[in-house]
Amino acid sequence: MTKVINGKELAQDLRNKLKEEIINLKAKYNKVPGLAVVQIGNVAASSVYVKAKTKSAKEVGIEIIDHHLDQEISELNLIKLIKKLNNQDNVNGILVQLPLPNHINEQIILDTIHPDKDADGFHPLNVGKLSISATNDENLLIPCTPYGCLLMLRGLNVDLKGKNVVVIGRSNIVGKPMAQLLLKESCTVTIAHSKTKELSKLCRDADILIAAVGRPEIVREDWVKNGAIVIDVGINRIDIEEDGKLKTKLVGDVLYSEVESKASAITPVPGGVGPMTIACLLRNTTIAFKNKLSN
């Protein structure tokens, strides 16, 4: 029987733990973690994510410091805002929702966020720490989506040591940090990308297949080894026709209906990786808060 990994449930467990922890921290220090959420413009997908992140943060007792900025804001003014947030005492984490408008250099912005307040784990210092650190990740700020994937894999209680993993996608947000995390688990990791030769054949050798390419339903049944674990990071909106009407549907990078019966475990879309990403953002914010208390 294929296990369908319930990201909603695992994320709820993590949020419950964080909520309890924050209640205890508040009782002891009379403060709660604060997360600054910076959104620029009105990209529809970003608005959906920011709303979900804000709602979950409030649910666990994190204070939200909201900055919704005009699409036309200059890079300089955005940098000024981030520097202000870097020095603001009630802000423990700063999240700048990506993508940014074309006139703003994403890397300059991510580099401006103080590494101690880097709720996404995208700052070069934290990226470096992840790549050289020991196995203990208790006070590291780690990119949320790959960490959420790792928690789902750990939740399966399978021995990850020596497993062949193929990560499809080499982004800084998912592919590369995912590979670092799994290396730390002693997996043998291959990162595949758009120039990889014979991709489907490579994937067929994977004990664990992680699809993070952003191409709807690209992973088909014949890409997957019998009994493999399949983690679908993709969130793609596609147009479908239903009852003569054009509708949009959310699908992953994996063709679920084909792959489900072949995998030993699989994440659905929606309800898989997505909720875990948000829960891990709350975790990072709480870690940043605790790190500050202990400094």
Using an 8 Å Cβ cutoff, are 95 and 120 in contact? yes
Q: How many residues bind ligand GUN (CB under 6 A)?
A: 9
Q: Closest distance between ligand GUN and the C-beta of residue 75, in Å?
A: 17
Q: Could you give the CA distance from residue 206 to residue 290 in angstroms, rounded to a whole number?
A: 38
Whether 71 is a known active-site residue: answer no
User: In the range 80-139, which residues lie near ligand GUN by CB under 6 A?
Assistant: 95-98, 120
d(CA 61, CA 57): 6
Residue among 82, 55, 61 at smallest CA distance from 17: 61
Instruction: Determine, following the binding rule CB under 6 A, whether residue 36 of this chain makes contact with ligand GUN.
Output: no
Q: Give the Cα-Cα-Cα angle 190, 172, 289 (nearest 5 degrees).
A: 120
Residue 3 CB contacts under 8 Å (≥ 6 apart), including other chains: 156, 264, 265, 266
The burial of 198, by beta-carbon neighbours within 10 Å (0-12 exposed, 13-18 middle, 19 or more buried), is given as exposed
Confirm or reject binding of residue 64 to ligand GUN (CB under 6 A): no
Q: Does residue number 56 form part of the binding site for ligand GUN (CB under 6 A)?
A: no
**Least distance from ligand GUN to the Cβ atom of residue 96, Å:** 6
Q: Toward ligand GUN, which CB reaches closer, 145 or 265?
A: 145
Burial status of residue 69 (CB atoms within 10 A of its CB: 0-12, 13-18, 19 or more): middle
Concerning whether 120 is annotated as a catalytic residue, the answer is yes
Does position 142 bind ligand GUN by CB under 6 A?
no
Q: Which is nearer to ligand GUN, 120 or 217 (CB)?
A: 120
The nearest distance, CB 283 to ligand GUN, in angstroms, is 13
Catalytic residue among 39, 117, 118, 120: 120
Active centre residues (catalytic): 53, 97, 120
| List of residues contacting ligand GUN (CB under 6 A) | 95-98, 120, 144-145, 173, 277
